[in-house]
Structure formats: C-alpha cells, structure tokens
Amino acid sequence: MTGIPSKLPRSGTSIFSVMSKMAADHGAINLSQGFPGFDVSATLVAQVHEAMAQGYNQYAPMEGLPALREAIASMTFDRYNFRPSPTEEITITTGATEGLFTTIMALINRGDEVIVFDPGYDSYGPAIRLAGGTPIHLALKMPGFYIDWDEVRSILPGKVKVIIINTPHNPTGSILHEKDLQELALLADQHDLFVLSDEVYEHIIFDGHSHQSVLKHEALRSRSVAVSSFGKTFHATGWKVGYVVAPRVLSEEIRKVHQFVTFSVSSAVQHALAKFLTNRDHYEHLSSFYEQKRDHFLEAIQGSRFTPIASSGTYFQLLSYDSIDTRHDVDMAAYLTQQHGVASIPISVFYQDGTDHRLLRFCFAKHEDTLSEAAEKLCKI
C-alpha cells in the first residue's frame, strides 16, 4: 500500500507513553505520566456500580446528563459566584482532551492564529493544525514561568483569534494571578479574541492561593471557554470524563463538533458523578491533600543535589539538575530511569523549539512511601 501525506508529520509517540514504557521495562518508579497512584473513592465506585445495576448503560444525552450539568452549575456558583446555564452552557466531554479538541475545532478556521504558551500541554498544537490554524508559540518567562503581556501585546492583532491559557499550569506548576486575568480581559476586548482556558487542575492549588478561573471574571465570561476534568479531581483519569463551560453561542458550536467526535459519555459514570458532587468535601480538601504530598516530596529530596522550582498547583514538581549534569533533559530522563530507577518527564518536549532548561517533571500524586523511595534514589545521584 502506498503511503498518505501525514496531517501531523511532526507528531510521534507521546513522551508519556515512552517514559511509562521505559519505567516498566527497567522496573523504575514511575513519576513520569500524570496519574494518581491511589484508588478512586469507594463511594464513587459503588455509585457507578449502582447506576449500572439500575440500567443506566445506554447512550446519555449528547450534551451530558441533566443532573450532572446541574451539579456542575452549582459547584461553579459555589466556587466562582457564577452559575452557568446547565442546559445551554455546560457540555460533558470524553475527558478534558476532547473538550479542548472540540473547542479548537469549533473556534478555529483555516488561516486563524492561536497564541499558546510554551512549555505547554502537547495536545494544543496538533489540534490547532488539524483545524487549519497556526499556533503562535510564546515562551513563558523565567524565573517562575510567567506570561509577558507586553510580548503578547506586541504581536496583536495579526490573525490571532484565540489565546489558550492553562492554570494551574502543566508542566510547570505555575499559576495565573488576578492581574493576569485583568490583562487578558483587556487584550481580548481590544482585539475581539476568544479565550480557551485549560483549568483541569482547578481544585489543586497551594500556599493559600485561589484559582483564577475565567468564569470568575465577568469581563471574560462572554468570550471564554473553560475546560475541566473529573479525572484529575477524583483520581479517575482512566474514566475520561471532563466538561466544557462556555457561553450559549460558543457552546452551540462546540456541541456540533462534540456530537461527531464521541457523541456522548458513559451514562453510569455521569449518574455517579452527579450524586458524588453533592458533597463538597470531595473537592474542597483536594488542595491540602496534594499540598501535603508536594511538601513530603520536597522534604524527602532536601539532601539531594536537585533544585526544586516552586510548584503552586497541579500534582507536578519540577526539579533542576543543572548542578548535577550537563546532558540534554531527554537523555537525563532516560539516564535516571535506566540507571537510578526513577522515571520523570523532560520539559524540553513541551516546547516547540525544544528549549532545554535542564528541568525534569515529577508527578507526586503517589503514596508517601513511593515518594520517599523515589527521593531516596534521587538523593544518591
């Protein structure tokens, strides 16, 4: 068979798959791929079983179960003092990745430009290119991985239609502050831009900070799409259930794409989540839960030669090996996995141009004994 031109010629096997396989092959502790190392709530699992036993095993409504969308609306009001319309402004998706993809496909036309910030989640660029758009990559500034709004302002308007933000930020653990959202709102209004806000770690934020959602800022709501994930919040990444909150006019277009990508999401899981969300404790204490794990990991590596970069959210911690080795971060990640038994993710893969700051990302969503064992190995390097 003759080959066909690739729509994504620069895309290969995900670094997450590569490092997880390497960890398995070498018996290493896997702190690379971002999934929790502990069980889903027994209550939530029982509620999924109950929903299945009650016969909720057929297609759910395309836009999502009404009860779940009502629960999300209530949670959004509790957190951001804004209640989106459950019928018109909330859509349940097959994970946040589908929410991001369908939003990009709905908003971007051929020739449109989209501002993305590096290092950034690896699904943004391919989705933009598949939609016919062009990603404009701007680097977050060091130290602290912050957005230089003057740099953003310097390239507008051009053909820019959308700005993608991510807070708390994967892979760096940085966060946006209220002043960032104010700058974003001003630029979006001046240049008539849409904002796509990846907020999958909205419930995991540390050190007394509060999450700055676009839904919290009145000036941004009418032109923004917020994407969230139950997988991150409830330790159930394999269930692939997320949701999108957007104004009615944008939701209508997003749903047009969504119905031809996955159509609907697991009925039983949606029924269970609708019940589970009635108890705020399931998400209100998530920040302190993960902050304790972050602090445990940081304390455990104090005797190492790695230098931690502040993590203000997510369940990821960056470590600099600049004082240890000069090899490229991809090579360093392989070396740590194969020779020292700890798998991580090199940060250069999150940059379009492969920028290497000699930083590795470690996932601390694991049991304390696992983190302690990994730290003990890192301290020997």
Phi, psi values for residue 346, rounded to 5°: -75, 140
The mean pLDDT value for 203-219 works out to 96
Check residue 169 and give its pLDDT. 98
Non-local (6+) Cβ contacts of 217 within 8 A are 181, 182, 185
- Residues 299, 296: Cα–Cα separation, whole Å: 5
- Residues 88, 66: Cα–Cα separation, whole Å: 11
Check residue 2 and give its pLDDT. 67
Label residue 40 by pLDDT band (50, 70, 90). very high
Check residue 166 and give its pLDDT. 98
Q: If you write DSSP's letter for every residue of 150-165 in order, what string do you get?
A: HHHHHT-STTEEEEEE
- Residues 79, 73: Cα–Cα separation, whole Å: 10
Check residue 8 and give its pLDDT. 87
The mean pLDDT value for 146-151 works out to 98
Domain topology for 15-40+284-379: Aspartate Aminotransferase, domain 1 (3.90.1150)
- The ranges assigned to domains in the chain are 15-40+284-379, 42-278
Check residue 36 and give its pLDDT. 93
The two domains 15-40+284-379 and 42-278 share their CATH topology (first three levels equal): no
pLDDT value at 146 more than 70: yes
Check residue 10 and give its pLDDT. 81
Condensed to tens digits (0 to 9), the pLDDT of residues 51-68 reads 999 999 999 999 999 999
The mean pLDDT value for 174-179 works out to 98
Check residue 125 and give its pLDDT. 95
Helical (H) or strand (E) element with 74: helix 66-80
Predicted TM-score (pTM) of the model is 0.96
Peptide bond into 143 cis (omega under 30): yes
pLDDT value at 3 more than 90: no
Check residue 319 and give its pLDDT. 98
The more confident residue out of 60 and 7 is: 60
Label residue 157 by pLDDT band (50, 70, 90). confident
Q: Report percent pLDDT > 70 for the chain.
A: 99
| DSSP E strands, the chain | 29-30, 90-93, 113-118, 134-139, 160-166, 194-198, 224-229, 242-245, 307-309, 316-320, 342-343, 345-346, 359-363
Site of tokens 């892979």: 171
pLDDT value at 372 more than 60: yes
Label residue 14 by pLDDT band (50, 70, 90). confident
Question: Hey, what amino acid is at 87?
Answer: T
The more confident residue out of 3 and 17 is: 17
The mean pLDDT value for 164-168 works out to 98
**Distance from the first to the final alpha carbon of the chain:** 49
The mean pLDDT value for 22-48 works out to 95
Check residue 161 and give its pLDDT. 98
Map residue 54 onto helix, strand or coil: coil
pLDDT value at 1 more than 60: no
**In CATH, 42-278 is 3.40.640.10:** yes
Check residue 4 and give its pLDDT. 83
Average pLDDT over the chain, rounded to whole? 96
Condensed to tens digits (0 to 9), the pLDDT of residues 248-292 reads 999 999 999 999 999 999 999 999 999 999 999 889 999 999 999
pLDDT value at 12 more than 80: no
Half-sphere exposure of 14 (CA within 13 A, CB side): 11
pLDDT value at 30 more than 90: yes
- Residues 8, 130: Cα–Cα separation, whole Å: 8
